[in-house]
Structure 1
Amino acid sequence: PMRVRMRKVTLGNLVLAVVVSLAILSLYSMWSLPPSISNRSKLVARKDFLQKPKKTIKLSPEDQPMGSLLKQLGERDFDYIRKERLYNLRRKCEKAEEAKLIKKEVPAKKLGHIIVNDQYKVLFCYIPKVACTNMKRVFLILTGQMNTTNPLALKSKDVHMSLDKYLTYLDSYSDEEAAEKLRTYKKLIFVREPLERLLSAYRNKFIEKSAYFHKRFGRRIVRKFRDGVNKSQEIQGNDVTFLEFVHYITDENTMENEGFNEHWAHYSALCHPCHVQYDLIGKYESIDEDVNFVLKDLKIDELIKFPKRNATYRRTKTGDQLESFYKTIPKDLLGKLWKIYRSDYNLFDYPYPQFLEKFLAPEDEV
């Protein structure tokens, strides 16, 4: 009788666990909680009713290609990963808020990186070097003012220059209007392994032809950080080395006197992830799958085909070049770089870079 009773108790606990698990999943069945619930209530609800997911799945690109990882996981498991990203970000922002590390509010004028589409009621915060051009192409097509539904038909230069006038940004609204859209619209953000993004920015702006960046940043970087440069010597700024660029990024005067350009600025400075309650965190490492999820959710997947990640590469992938570039950087500068971008790694659950482990001793990582 005692064994029978214990079996009944065990079976009862199992049924209860299943019911609780289903209830937890139902809380996340939509992108976010109903808009009538305040932002603070969202945080409280997720904190009180959602236990931290038990299974942990690494998304580090060093582990294995994302495509093969997704085949193993399946669509349902990958949906779980998206929800885990949101959960972890909320928890970390709550801790930052409790420690008074973040401001209570952000005015609309600081939200200039968030694109608004009223027809589909969606907001997207763009981050340069995170499929930024292709995502802007999608939002340009959604305006209905382009003569194509093929994103690649819109030239990259035009997307950021002549066509930009067709996009609407959240900083063009009053604080009240912006707050209403933030409360009721779906909100998207895409991020990338931070030091990979930094290298991508360097390659794009200083190795490739980019006259503006050569003139605006290259000349000053060479004059300040290259030995043997004569003050009267004419500087083109088109041959900045990666070491010189890292010197510039880690120099205290850079942040204090001019701040970071959007191509290497922190995610928190561009998109304010602890103030904006994002409904989806996409990652560059799984960009094809995350964007397809968005297109299907907005019911525009038949209208727009997002360019595959490999379709737009004309050179060696930045991810394949990390070690060859970062091994040229002295340990003290690597340590400074890690400290600068550590918050981006933490907020978006990127593991400590494996390529840094080869060059930094554990005591240098702190």
Structure 2
Amino acid sequence: MLSKTFLKATGITVIAFCAVTICVYSEWTIRILKGHKDNIRLPKSTQNDHVKHMPNHDAPRLQTMAINMPPQTPKPTRSDLPATKNSKIVAKDPSVDSLRESMKLVSNERLAGLQRGCHVNNQKFGFDLDAIFKLIPAHRPRFYFSDKYRLLLCEVPKCGSTSWKRALVTMEDMAHEQFPDKIGGGEAHVLGGYLDVWRNLNESDPASVAKTKERISNYTRVMTVREPLERLVSAYKDKMLPTGTGGASFGKMSQLIHKAYADKNENRTAETSHASWQEFVRYLLDTNRHIYIDAHWQLFSKMCYPCISSYHHIAKLETIYYDAQYISHLIDYDLTPFFPALKANPRRKKWSTEYQNYLKNLSQEDREGLYAMYMEQYDLFGYANPKSLSIHGE
């Protein structure tokens, strides 16, 4: 009897113990799970490590989305276009298509302005191949060509002519330099001479004449200009001064101009033998001069005959980086390495410093004479009237 009572009590105790154990275990499990959920059971350092080593399954997808996102390029407005009467350039970072459309508008503006200028100066406007051929050889447009890319360039010295020659000889595989600026200026001009349209013409050979006419008629025709008086000052400094790159031939020319146009009242040392700026201007304005007018300061219209040559684009040195991109599209060849963007000292600021001082140091009569001599160039190529230039001290 006692044995049965003992066994019954023991069984009840075991059952009770199991029940209590189950309850305690269940509550502990719930707390652990809740602790994982709320991060209340993990030390702070363990939480950070846990997050750090979690795999980011979205990373590849996010990278793909970033790659495929289209570039956000601002669309330039009409006021952002390169102006035709100053050196203002297009908006920053325009897209290729926007730039192309902008420069197309600018190109049309320049050509329309040229047409008006031709009419104002009583010249007919349009392509006239016969009139070009009738010019004496020394007066014909300074045409250079690329047969591979069907480009016809009218060379204008002091308007990026060396860079254009580098481009042409590279286009024709005549120079094999990897970088355009490694082609020396002398080399570019010597090699470029073989691409002179008239040098390649044999007027007694019908095939040669036909090829020349085909180049002039059917290639993309381009010329480059620059603010006329700025170009004149640049030419004087480069060719007439001993510090320039004129060499012996221009040095001799400078001496001749000095001797012919020196003013005894000017205070110059006996050792000075080059032409002063004032002497150079007198030489230019002398209608009875015996010293020829060099191409470096010859009028644009007498080197490229724009009224009868019907150019497809007139580039300006002030916006040449953008012009090069536009012409690249026309001929399907990248010209931009030959005309890098200006990084400092914009040309438009030079009138307020260096160039303007040259005009200031002229007499009013000589300055007016220069204005009259180059006025037609301002009309033809859309530059502001030179009389609008403010001269320091006046």
What is the TM-score of this pair, normalised by structure 2? 0.65
Match of 2:132 in 1: 106
Q: Which residue of 1 aligns with 2:255?
A: 219
Q: C-alpha offsets along residues 309-350 of structure 1, whole Å, 9 cap, x if unaligned?
A: 53799x998555221111001110011101111111111111
> How many angstroms apart in 2 are the aligned matches of 1:65 and 1:81?
12
Q: Does 1:310 align with 2:342?
A: yes
Question: Contact between 2:152 and 2:222, CA under 8 Å: does it hold in 1?
Answer: yes
CA distance in 2, matches of 1:265, 1:288: 24
Report the residue type matching 2:275 in the other structure. V
Name the SS of the counterpart of 2:221 in structure 1.
strand
Post-superposition Cα deviations, 1:234-261, rounded to whole Å, max 9, x if no partner, equal 9774x4321121111112223xx44411
2:220, 2:331 within 8 Å by CA — same for their partners in 1?
no
Match of 1:164 in 2: 192
Q: % of aligned pairs identical? A: 23
User: Following TM superposition, by how much is the alpha carbon of 1:286 offset from its aligned partner in structure 2, in angstroms?
Assistant: 0.5
Q: Which consecutive segments of 4 or more residues in structure 1 shift more than 4 A?
A: 67-71, 233-236, 315-320
CA distance in structure 2 between the partners assigned to 1:297 and 1:305 by the alignment? 16
Please list every run of 5 or more consecutive structure 2 residues that lacks an aligned counterpart in the other structure: 1-77, 204-208
Q: 1:77 to 1:145 in 2, by over 3 A?
A: closer
**In 2: Cα distance, 1:234 partner to 1:354 partner:** 35
Tell me the equivalent position of 2:306. Answer: 273
Distance 1:65 1:184, change over 3 A: closer
> Do the aligned residues in 2 keep the contact of 1:199 with 1:322 (CA within 8 Å)?
yes
Aligned residue number for residue 91 of structure 1: 116
Q: 2:321 aligns with which of 288, 292, 295?
A: 288
1:179 shift after superposition: 3.1
TM-score, normalising length: structure 1: 0.69
The AA in structure 1 aligned to 2:252 is: R
| Counterpart position of 1:142 | 171
- Mapped to 1, the partners of 2:218 and 2:250 lie a distance apart of 42
For the aligned residues, what is the CA RMSD?
A: 3.7
Equivalent residue number for residue 40 of structure 1: none
Q: CA deviation at 1:164?
A: 3.5
Matched residue type, 1:130: C
| 1:112-135 deviation digits (Å, cap 9, x = unpaired) | 511011121110001000011101
Aligned length: 294
Q: C-alpha separation between the residues in 2 aligned to 1:264 and 1:213?
A: 16
Q: Which residue of 2 aligns with 1:9?
A: none
> What's the offset of the Cα at 1:263?
0.3
Q: Which residue of 1 aligns with 2:213?
A: 179
**Contact (CA 8 Å) 2:150, 2:331: kept in 1 or not?**
no
SS in 1 for 2:222: strand
The separation in 2 between residues aligned to 1:70 and 1:200, in whole angstroms, is 30
Residue by residue over 1:126-147, the C-alpha shift from the partner in whole angstroms, topping out at 9 and shown as x without a partner, is 1000011101100010111211
Cα drift, residue 304 of structure 1:
6.4
Partner of 1:243: 278
Q: Does 1:66 align with 2:89?
A: yes
